[in-house]
Every structure is written in C-alpha cells, then in structure tokens.
C-alpha cells in the first residue's frame, strides 16, 4: 500500500521525536511491503521564522492533499512576545479548522512496567487500564456565541452551548467505529439531567448505537464519570463526549497514567483523514539534547496506521514493540526509575525498531 504523509516536525523537541517515528514507520513499510512518502510542512515557530506566519496557505494545501499528517510539537519561549495572531499555536488552530478536524482522540494507557508512576493505589490499578476519550472538537460551549455586557449596572457574561443533531451524529459514529477496533464498549458522557444539549446528545447517540448492535452502550453523567476515572478506570474502553466535558475528562484520564511522554492523540475529520500528534509540548529546555521521549509520537504514528490507513496489524506491531522495550527496561529520563537502563531519544527509537 502507498500513502502520502505530511510531516510537521515543528519546534523544540519536535524534529527529534518525529525522526524516530519516521524510523519506526519505515521499518513497518519494509516489513509489510508498504510505501510511505513524506512531505515536509512548516507550521508553528519554524513557519514564523521562515515565512512570517504560523501556517501558510501553501502548507495547508499540502496537508489537505496528503493521506494523513504527523506532527511533532509547536511553540516555545522564542515566540512568546509575538502578537496573538502570529503565535505558533495559531498554526495548530488554523490547520485543525482548515482540515475540518472535529473528532479528538486521546488514549490513556497504563503500562504494567510504569505502574509506579500512576497516582492511584495498586488495588485500583489492578493489571492496568486502556481507554480512549473521543471528544467533539469543533462545537459546543467553546464555539458558541458569547458576550460580556452591562445589565442593571452589573457586568454579565454569557456563553452559549449549542449542538446540532448532525454534529452529535458524526462524532457518535466515530466513537462507535473506534470501539469496534477496540473492546466494543462506548461510555457516552453527558449531563442529561440538567442540559437540553445533553438530552439531544443522548437521544442521537442512542439512535447511532442501533446501527452498532455489537457495541455495548453505557450512559454516564459527567460528574459520575469524573469520579469513576479515579475509582475504577479499568471499566472504560471508549469515552464519547462533547467538547468541554472531553477537554476536562481527557486531562484527568491522562493524569492517572502518570507519564505524559507516553500519551498520543489524534484529530479526525469525516473521512479517514487525521492529524496525529503527541499530547505533550515542545519541551524547549531539552531540545537538541537527545533526551526527549519519542514514544508518544511513535504511538501517534501507530494510531495513524490504525485509524487513517486501516493497518491494524501494523499498529499492533508498533504497540507490542513499545511494550517489549519497556519490559526490557529501556527508559528515557521522564519515565526513568531505579533498576532500568537510561537511554536517549534516538536509542529508544532504535530499540523499538529492533523489536519490530
């Protein structure tokens, strides 16, 4: 199979971690007879330095004509004093909008070898957990009408939470499709006991569920979900929810893994197209020092294979290679613990390739 991949190495540790992900993808291509073509795209600080803006129309066009985008990280103190519309992060917002990326996937996996990093008690952790938050990314409270006005001599702020049936339906379909590739359980999170938008959310999700009889659907109120994530995270497979709830719950879910350097993410549109990136930042303090953890980016590349290219076996191979590397005791500085072997970014990539 032949695929076009737009590479955005970005800023800080971005180039280092993307290079290791490419190394792993090239090994997969060699093993399975695929061909991956890479096209460099500038975004963020590197684009500001080269073109004066965080994302050019040409760069967006290149991304649009690819099969998927693999991103390192953007931003850093070098550009902190730029005007708001020229900050590196504006490039990320622009590419998400330009590519119509409405579904955000944030896996939270606790590896057996990294249990010590989890803030939860051993009896709660058990044999670990593996969940993914599927968050609606372009609607809801963050994108509704807002204003701050004076009424009767007092300042009043208003934010509008709006969801259409179509917006809910398309994210629900994504959630159920992803569940089919996993353990076939969807927990739909809302606040249907209070909010009209959540009552519509629940109605539409149940309509979509009828088309997926092989997937179990559980309704859960958002406050209960927040509690259950720290009480019994093992119960979750796919958490499907709206924008603001997903923003909060995905951060909570990632925190209970205890290691942000291990967390991948994806943003998808209505086709198979997606943008894949680690959840962590650009870490400019360790950039260029071979200290970065490339695993989150490599896991993001595995998500790209699974969700954009339908290469499930290849994605499994990468995930299993990472588990093997952790079992062998290789650790970058952010996940290092006594009795293991400290390695750099390149060495971690090499170890993962060796296990493929």
Please tell me the predicted confidence (pLDDT) of residue 259.
Answer: 76
Mean pLDDT of the chain: 95
* H or E stretch covering 108: strand 103-109
Contact 240, 206 (CB under 8 A): no
Residues 98-157 have pLDDT tens digits of 999 999 999 999 988 888 888 889 888 888 899 999 999 999 998 889 999 999 999 999
Q: How confident is the model at residue 258 (pLDDT cuts 50, 70, 90)?
A: confident
Range 50-64 average pLDDT: 96
What are the structural domains of the chain? 1-105+263-356 (3.40.718.10), 119-256 (3.40.718.10)
**Given 23, 115, 130, 142, the catalytic residue:** 142
**Prediction pTM value:** 0.89
pLDDT, residue 19, reads 98
What's the average model confidence in pLDDT over 297-326? 96
Q: Catalytic residue, from 112, 159, 232, 251: name it.
A: 251
Q: Is 247 a catalytic residue?
A: yes
The predicted pLDDT at position 4 comes to 98
pLDDT at 93: 85
| pLDDT at res. 104 | 95
* Long-range CB contacts for residues 85-90, cutoff 8 Å, separation at least 24: 86/48, 86/52, 86/53, 86/54, 87/54, 88/11, 88/43, 88/44, 88/45, 88/47, 88/48, 88/54, 89/44, 89/54, 90/54, 90/55
Catalytic option among 78, 184, 191, 234 = 191
φ, ψ for residue 35 (rounded to 5)?
-130, 120
142 catalytic? Reply is yes
Of the candidates 247, 276, 307, 317, the residue annotated as catalytic is 247
């Amino acid at each position: 199979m032949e695929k076009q991949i737009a590479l955005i190495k970005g800023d800080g540790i971005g180039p280092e971690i993307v290079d290791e992900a490419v190394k792993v993808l090239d090994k997969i291509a060699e093993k399975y007879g695929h061909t991956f073509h890479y096209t460099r795209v500038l975004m963020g600080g590197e684009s500001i330095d080269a073109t004066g803006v965080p994302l050019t129309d040409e760069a967006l066009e290149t991304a649009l004509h690819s099969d998927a985008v693999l991103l390192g990280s953007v931003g850093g103190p070098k550009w902190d004093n730029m005007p708001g519309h020229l900050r590196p992060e504006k490039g990320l917002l622009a590419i998400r909008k330009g590519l119509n990326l409405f579904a955000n996937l944030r896996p939270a996996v606790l590896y057996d070898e990294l249990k010590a990093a989890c803030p939860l008690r051993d009896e709660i952790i058990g044999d670990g957990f593996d969940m993914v938050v599927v968050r609606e990314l372009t609607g809801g409270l963050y994108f509704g009408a807002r204003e701050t006005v004076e009424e009767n001599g007092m300042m009043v702020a208003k934010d509008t939470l709006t969801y259409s049936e179509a917006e809910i339906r398309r994210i629900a379909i994504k959630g159920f499709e992803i569940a089919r590739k996993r353990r076939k359980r969807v927990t739909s999170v809302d606040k249907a006991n209070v909010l009209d938008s959540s009552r519509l959310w629940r109605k539409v999700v149940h309509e979509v569920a009828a088309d997926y009889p092989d997937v179990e659907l559980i309704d859960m109120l958002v406050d209960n979900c927040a509690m259950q994530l720290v009480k019994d995270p093992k119960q979750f497979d796919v958490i499907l929810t709206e924008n603001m709830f997903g923003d909060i719950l995905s951060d909570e879910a990632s925190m209970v893994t205890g290691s942000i350097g291990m967390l991948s993410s994806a943003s998808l549109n209505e086709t198979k197209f997606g943008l894949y990136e680690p959840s962590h930042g650009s870490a400019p303090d360790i950039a260029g020092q071979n200290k970065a953890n490339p695993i989150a980016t490599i896991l993001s590349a595995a998500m790209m294979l699974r969700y954009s290219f339908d290469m499930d076996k290849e994605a499994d191979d990468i995930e299993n290679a990472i588990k093997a590397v952790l079992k062998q005791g290789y650790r970058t500085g952010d996940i290092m613990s006594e009795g293991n072997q400290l390695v750099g970014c390149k060495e971690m990539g090499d170890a993962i390739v060796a296990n493929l």
